[in-house]
Amino acid sequence: MAAQILIVDDHHIVRDGLRLLLERAGFKVSGEAADGLAAAQMAAQIRPDVVVMDIGIPLLNGLDAARKILKDVPTAKVIFLSMHADKQYILEALRIGAKGFVTKSHAAEHLVQAVRDALRGKTFLNAETSEAVVAAYQSDANLLDDPLTPRERQVLQLVAEGRTTKEVAALLNISVKTAETHRSRTMEKLDIHDTATLVRYAIRRGLVQP
């Protein structure tokens, strides 16, 4: 029986390309999602063997969506896609249990192998991503430190995406006052006092892409 795969990317043309690539290799694409919230919901329903997911997706970034998916469907294997082999993204991906990290520029060459490795319980890193991991561990001992809770990270992402406090509250099904509290607490923890700096921090942490 062909492995069931969930594709998550906010660009329809990218999802089409990934579907074609994976189906040609004999896998079955059982679902597609364009944002992190939809991905987590769909994964809980279809329980895929593998989730191929972009990191920079709306509403809930790929890293936090993967945390939710792996909690709800612990048998799933997550493979991340990214435009760049950024050491921050790669280390965070490995920390949460990802089984692969593939740059989009090399997806055609490496994605099928990454899926096959994941299904065998192995972790796929090509030369580019492996070098980034080594460099990160050698130079950034505290790179993975994150003072924020999952909810605070989600609020931070939505703010960085340009959502108003009312929109954040509606999307997360919380009161406006609670959304304001999360935002204030986030800025206090990070010692950040303006939205522009908050956005730059979110970009550095991989919560949104520039």
| Mean pLDDT score, 6-11 | 96
Reported as type and span, the H/E element at residue 130 is helix 127-139
d(CA 75, CA 90): 21
Residues 190 and 147: beta-carbon distance below 8 Å: yes
Amino acid, res. 204: R
Give me the CATH topology for the region 4-139: Rossmann fold (3.40.50)
Phi, psi values for residue 79, rounded to 5°? -120, 125
Residues 30 and 7: beta-carbon distance below 8 Å: no
> For the stretch 167-191, what's the b/e string if a residue is b when 16 or more beta carbons lie within 10 angstroms of its beta carbon?
ebbebbeeeeebbeebbeebbeebe
Residue 140's CB is within 10 A of a number of other CB atoms, namely: 13
Portion of the chain with pLDDT greater than 90, in percent: 48
pLDDT tens column, 93-148: 888 899 999 888 888 889 999 999 999 999 998 766 666 666 655 555 455 567 88
Give me the CATH topology for the region 150-204: Arc Repressor Mutant, subunit A (1.10.10)
Least confident segment among 24-28, 46-50, 79-83, 115-119: 79-83
| Mean pLDDT score, 168-188 | 90
pTM above 0.85, yes or no: no
pLDDT the model gives residue 77: 97
Residue 4's pLDDT band (cuts 50, 70, 90): very high
pLDDT the model gives residue 13: 94
| Mean pLDDT score, 169-198 | 89
d(CA 174, CA 178): 6
| Mean pLDDT score, 60-69 | 92
d(CA 210, CA 56): 9
Q: Domain limits of the chain?
A: 4-139, 150-204
| Mean pLDDT score, 27-36 | 96
DSSP one-letter code for 18: H
